[in-house]
Amino acid sequence: MLYFSTRDKQRTFSFKEVFLNALASDGGLYVPTSIPKFSPEKIQSMNNKFNELRMKIGDFEMQKQLTLQEINLLKADFTVVEKELEEEYGKNSTIDLSTGEITKKLEKIE
């Protein structure tokens, strides 16, 4: 689709030029050289596709938010467990993640 400026109808611009510049260099507004005509069925079809895409994007955003909430809950749970372990075994203890064995390290006194 081509566009022209409201101040110069002789020169045409591509969609890319219109998209990147917003206003024509002569200060005019971009207007399409022609407007396609669509049947009501075609418009309804495009609307259905738009709604389907909108739902997919909405579902994705909801899944993202739920995942972030789950991560925050895990962080909160970990903080509680970490504090409990520190109180019981000391700050410098280590946990072997493959066996679950806790090694209590002596704290240096200086």
Amino acid at the residue 105: K
Q: Is the dihedral of CA 64, 69, 73, 79 positive or negative?
A: positive
Q: Average pLDDT in the 47-55 region?
A: 92
What residues make up the domain containing 107? 38-110
9 and 46 share one domain: no
Q: CB 18: neighbour CB atoms within 10 A?
A: 20
Q: CB 16: neighbour CB atoms within 10 A?
A: 8
56 and 98 share one domain: yes
pLDDT band at 17 (very low <50, low <70, confident <90, very high): very high
Q: Average pLDDT in the 15-37 region?
A: 93
Into how many domains does the chain fold?
2
Give me the residue label for tokens 């400026």.
5
Task: Name the phi and psi angles at 31, rounded to 5.
Answer: -135, 140
d(CA 106, CA 95): 15
Q: Report pTM.
A: 0.43
